[in-house]
Amino acid sequence: MIDSNPFAELAAFISPTAMQAYVVLMVVLVAVGTILDMLHKKSGQYFFENARRAKRNATRTLSSGEKGALALKTLGKEVLTSGEFNNPKRRISHLLTMYGFIIFVVTTAILIFAYPTPDDPAPTVVPLLWHLGAAMLAFGGYWFWFSIRVDVASEGVKWYQLNGRGDLFIVGLLGMATFALLWSFTRDVDTLGTLFFVLFVAFSTLLFGSVYWSKFAHMFFKPAAAFQKRVIKADGSRENMPAVYDPSDPDVQARFPDVPAYMGPNPPNMGLGIKREAPSHF
Amino acid sequence: MPTFVYMTRCDGCGYCVDICPSDIMHIDKVTRRAYNIEPNMCWECYSCVKACPMDAIDVRGYAEFAPLGHSVRVRRDEEKGVIAWRIKFRNGEKDMELLAPITTKPWGKHIPQLADVPAPSQAMRDSQLLFNEPKYIRLDEGDLHTLASNGLVMKEGVYY
């Protein structure tokens, strides 16, 4: 079951062209939603104004090589490994959801565009990955919904309470992944299979059609903001932040004589501070 | 000077919500970012400012105190044990940086590791004393701990 292409079987009822047109429509909806979101929130304008201000306050100019290195670091930390999350549970849940979504969407496109009919069977690995992606997405999403979102330290929302716009994205993701799996497993059961397929399409449309109102566009904005944050640190503009001082540096000690008075000439490693003990809320 | 959150820096981790003694740091349910729901009720303890791992929380000066307006930005470095503040007035006349130790002792050395502390007994639960009253902070036997009984002298900026 999980090694066969569900869309190829579907081709008996829905033409591959219609399926491909639906995928293209979803891509268009995402693009339009993101552009509208940018125009409405003026996030693009804010970002460029912020970058200009940072450039004015910069104490040094970054070479293109340095910028490239910062982009690579951003890619490695904030984009690929979600390293900015301090809560490991939230980070793992986010990574599962993110990679699940990417695997699911890419394999869906491959299955629909490259292997649309049963005459041209997809390599086993592709449908396997499609199911794996949906399962990762569902696992990460339900973890967030039933454990992280209900935690009073983060949002403290009961699992049965919907918060409208705030939850559009996660509801769309969860509905799409869950009903995709259920449809795949009940393909042989006529009514149930059809019902789950209709729900799968409905939630997919909700997810990709609600970009303007949901949190979907964060996947485009987040890397840009993370890169900018690294740039302001490297070029000295610092966004009004204080410098990162080394209290063992004699110059720093001369400027702030309180510090050696309290901590001695060689301040010890102070440990993890607030991170030393995970908060327990239950 | 009550606190506020820079939305572009906050990642909604909830550390400020966890630490705020007056329970006014909340997570916005739509944006999933922290915010101070009642700045007028802020005790200005700056626990949230110090706890925020994203440097997303800063403080806002009152108009009568700082008529020109100013920005206060905070960065803390736990490994180095310091917290730095930068105050910048809007007209650029005052731009100063301050540096202070977060604590004078490494974390856990003189501060009890709460995870390792036994759960409170029924007698403790029934007592009028709070868990962090000197009697309960003392993990060994004996009388109440005081600075004098521990051979300590009160010193500004030191966390006992």
Active-site residue, from B7, B9, B43, B117: B43
Which B residues in the span 95-154 are in contact with A, Cβ-Cβ below 8 Å? Answer: 97-104, 106-108, 113-115
CATH 3.30.70.20 segments of chain B: 1-66
Mutate to test the interface with B, among A240, A270, A272, A276 (most CBs of B within 10 A): A270
| Mean pLDDT to the nearest integer, B2-30 | 87
**Number of domains chain A is built from:** 2
Question: Class of the B1-66 domain?
Answer: alpha beta
pLDDT at A178: 97
Q: Which domain holds residue A151?
A: 6-235
Helix ranges (DSSP H) in A186-257? 190-209, 218-234, 250-255
Q: A258 and A229, same structural domain?
A: no
Amino acid of residue A70: L
Residue B160 has pLDDT above 50, yes or no: no
Mean pLDDT of chain B: 78
Residue A28 has pLDDT above 90, yes or no: yes
Looking at the domain assignment, is residue A281 inside a domain?
no
Q: A108 and A84, same structural domain?
A: yes
pLDDT at B138: 59
DSSP A79-115: ITS-TT--SHHHHHHHHHHHHHHHHHHHHHHHHHHH-
Work out the minimum CA distance from B108 to partner chain A, whole angstroms: 8
Confidence of residue A281 (pLDDT cuts 50, 70, 90): very low
Query: Does B85 participate in catalysis according to the annotation?
Result: no
CB contacts, 8 Å: B158 with chain A: 262
Side-chain-side CA neighbours of residue A76 (13 Å): 7
More confident call, A1 vs A44: A44
Looking at the domain assignment, is residue A280 inside a domain?
no
Looking at the domain assignment, is residue A47 inside a domain?
yes
CA–CA dist A80, A76 (Å, integer): 5
Confidence of residue A96 (pLDDT cuts 50, 70, 90): very high
Question: In terms of DSSP bridges, do strands B34-36 and B25-27 run parallel, antiparallel, or are they unpaired?
Answer: antiparallel
Q: What pTM, to 2 d.p., does this model score?
A: 0.81
Tokens standing for residue A214: 């949901």
Q: What are phi and psi of A223, to 5 degrees?
A: -60, -40
How many percent of chain A have pLDDT more than 90? 52
Confidence of residue A85 (pLDDT cuts 50, 70, 90): confident
Interface check for A259 against chain B (CB to CB < 8 A): the answer is: yes
pLDDT at B151: 67
pLDDT at B7: 86
pLDDT at A113: 95
Per the CB < 8 A criterion, the answer to whether B90 and B69 are in contact is yes
CB contacts, 8 Å: A222 with chain B: none
Q: A248 and A213, same structural domain?
A: no
Looking at the domain assignment, is residue A1 inside a domain?
no
Q: A181 and A263, same structural domain?
A: no
Looking at the domain assignment, is residue A104 inside a domain?
yes
Q: A187 and A124, same structural domain?
A: yes
The mean-pLDDT minimum among A220-234, B27-41, B117-131 falls in B117-131
Q: A141 and A197, same structural domain?
A: yes
Q: A250 and A224, same structural domain?
A: no
Confidence of residue B90 (pLDDT cuts 50, 70, 90): confident
Side-chain-side CA neighbours of residue A277 (13 Å): 14
pLDDT at A22: 96
Per the CB < 8 A criterion, the answer to whether A35 and A213 are in contact is no
| Mean pLDDT to the nearest integer, A49-53 | 87
Q: A258 and A137, same structural domain?
A: no
More confident call, A263 vs A280: A263
Neighbours of B57 (CB within 10 A): 26
* pLDDT per position as a tens digit, A112-150: 999 998 888 899 999 999 999 999 999 999 999 999 888
* pLDDT per position as a tens digit, A176-199: 999 999 999 998 888 999 999 999
How many percent of chain B have pLDDT more than 70? 71
Confidence of residue B35 (pLDDT cuts 50, 70, 90): very high
pLDDT at A9: 87
Residue B87 has pLDDT above 70, yes or no: yes
Q: A108 and A34, same structural domain?
A: yes
Interface check for B33 against chain A (CB to CB < 8 A): the answer is: no
Mean pLDDT of chain A: 89
* pLDDT per position as a tens digit, A97-119: 999 999 999 999 999 999 998 88
Work out the minimum CA distance from A237 to partner chain B, whole angstroms: 13
pLDDT at B137: 60
Q: A164 and A194, same structural domain?
A: yes
- For A224, the closest chain B residue by CA position comes to B8
From residue B117, alpha-carbon distances to A14, A139, B53, B112, B146 in Å are 64, 34, 26, 8, 20
Q: A219 and A145, same structural domain?
A: yes
CA–CA dist A138, A141 (Å, integer): 5
